[in-house]
Amino acid sequence: MNPIVRFIHQTGSPAYFYRLSGRLIPWLWAAFVPLAAWGLIQGLFFAPTDYLQKETYRIIYIHVPSAWMSMMIYAVMAILGMIGLIWRIRIAELLAISCAPIGAAFTTVALITGALWGKPTWGTYWVWDARLTSELVLLFLYLGVMGLYAAIDEPRKAARAAALLAMVGLVNLPIIHFSVEWWNTLHQGQTIKLIGKSTIDTRMLVPLLVMAVATKFFFAANLLTRARNQLLHQDRRKRWTKAVLGGEPGIGEAAS
């Protein structure tokens, strides 16, 4: 069998997923902590001061990675939900629903830090412009997905309903991304570009990119932890849980 196909099949097994994720989580935290520490220290103390916004711009090192994560996590959630819906892969459903609280947390951080950045630069904490409003809609979508999942008793039906809502909400992502180009907004346009030259100094950019990478590790570690909990809770009466929790010789609990 093709190794990739075999890996996908293996990951679909609850016991295999539980053990594999348990082994991965400590490594993901181990990558997150030094990267986040370095990025924050560089950003707060060593990056040069902005000529216009002065020190307030240092909020960028938490605001921008959080905003990027809020959108990326939503896309991941919708894709996993789609995989769960089409191929009925239960682990994908669990991962999709586990994305929602993490995405909601990053969206909340993006909104709060954005408001605190807005006051000294724009003179107001909040304005109903396209970027801010569409980001707020994203938070409501996350809360909607979580609420819908919690409202249905049967977990697999709940996951499918939540996945559908997540997929519908995908339409909001291009609106958030292009809002600063499509409408006149108070929010500034893109400073960092994948294609073309970024209009930010390299000494400011590097800590920002490091923080962006660090938040990915945070997401991955948190996602796997939440998915393991969901899996163990749902399968608490199944045989494999006895094996992974040390009930049978030779198979110990992998982590935590």
- Interface ranges with other proteins (CB under 8 A): 44, 54-56, 58-59, 62-63, 66, 101-102, 105, 108-109, 112-113, 116-117, 119-120, 218, 221-222, 225-226, 228-229, 232-233, 236-237, 241-242, 245, 247, 253, 256
Q: How far is the CB of 195 from other proteins (least distance, A)?
A: 29
For residues 55 and 201, which CB has a smaller minimum distance to other proteins in the complex? 55
Query: What Rg value do the Cα atoms of the chain yield, rounded?
Result: 20
Q: Phi/psi at 195 (nearest 5 deg)?
A: -110, 125
For residues 19 and 63, which CB has a smaller minimum distance to other proteins in the complex? 63
Q: Phi/psi at 123 (nearest 5 deg)?
A: 90, 5
Residue that the structure tokens 């950019």 belong to: 205
For residues 159 and 214, which CB has a smaller minimum distance to other proteins in the complex? 214
For residues 88 and 233, which CB has a smaller minimum distance to other proteins in the complex? 233
Q: How far is the CB of 149 from other proteins (least distance, A)?
A: 15
Q: How far is the CB of 61 from other proteins (least distance, A)?
A: 9
Q: How far is the CB of 132 from other proteins (least distance, A)?
A: 15
For residues 55 and 181, which CB has a smaller minimum distance to other proteins in the complex? 55
Q: How far is the CB of 159 from other proteins (least distance, A)?
A: 17
Q: How far is the CB of 232 from other proteins (least distance, A)?
A: 5
| Angstrom distance (rounded) from CA 36 to CA 32 | 6
| Angstrom distance (rounded) from CA 238 to CA 252 | 16
Provide the H-helix boundaries in the chain.
3-11, 14-41, 60-87, 90-122, 130-151, 155-169, 172-182, 202-234, 239-244
Q: How far is the CB of 45 from other proteins (least distance, A)?
A: 12
For residues 181 and 253, which CB has a smaller minimum distance to other proteins in the complex? 253
For residues 203 and 242, which CB has a smaller minimum distance to other proteins in the complex? 242
The Cβ of residue 59 has, within 10 Å, a number of other Cβ atoms equal to: 18
